Structure 1
Amino acid sequence: MKYNRLLAEFLGTLLLVLSILASGGDALFVGLTLAVIIFFAANTSGGHVNPAVSLSMYMRKRMSLNDLLSYITAQMLGGAASVFLFKMLA
């Protein structure tokens, strides 16, 4: 697996969760942020940025188990890093 896919998932999830935390859950802001993340990550990793999306791709046999576990790990680390950053900046 290419590491740029995992980096895209990590950064995409980090930005998504950070936008949710920073905006207080404003749906329009979060939705626009998600659209931008998917636009930029779609060609690299598919723009999943959500373990549920990655799991559905695995269940439809569009990704391997190894890729699924790698994506979910990158997404979980991205989410955890965003909470850490938010607490540092808030």
Structure 2
Amino acid sequence: MKKLNNEAELVKEAIRVGDVYAQKRGVGKFEGTDSSHDKIAYIYRLLVHDKLIQPLAKGEDKEPAMKHKLALWIHRQLPEDHPLKK
């Protein structure tokens, strides 16, 4: 698993976009007290359920791997001229 440039910032953006996606789908909204781990796990599972990303292999669904999957997902969604893609 090769780390992306700006992976931490990409994960933050994935959480933001994932929150909007979940709200538009009507399946939930994050509260200010929700931990980043809970947000990451929820968004990852939602995207897997909606078949927008491939699930991780059984036993490999730990937080660092989920963060990496979310970073890859948002990286593909961003336009080519976005600052996080540089």
Q: Please indicate, yes or no, whether the TM-score normalized by the shorter chain is above 0.5.
A: no
Greater fraction helix: 1
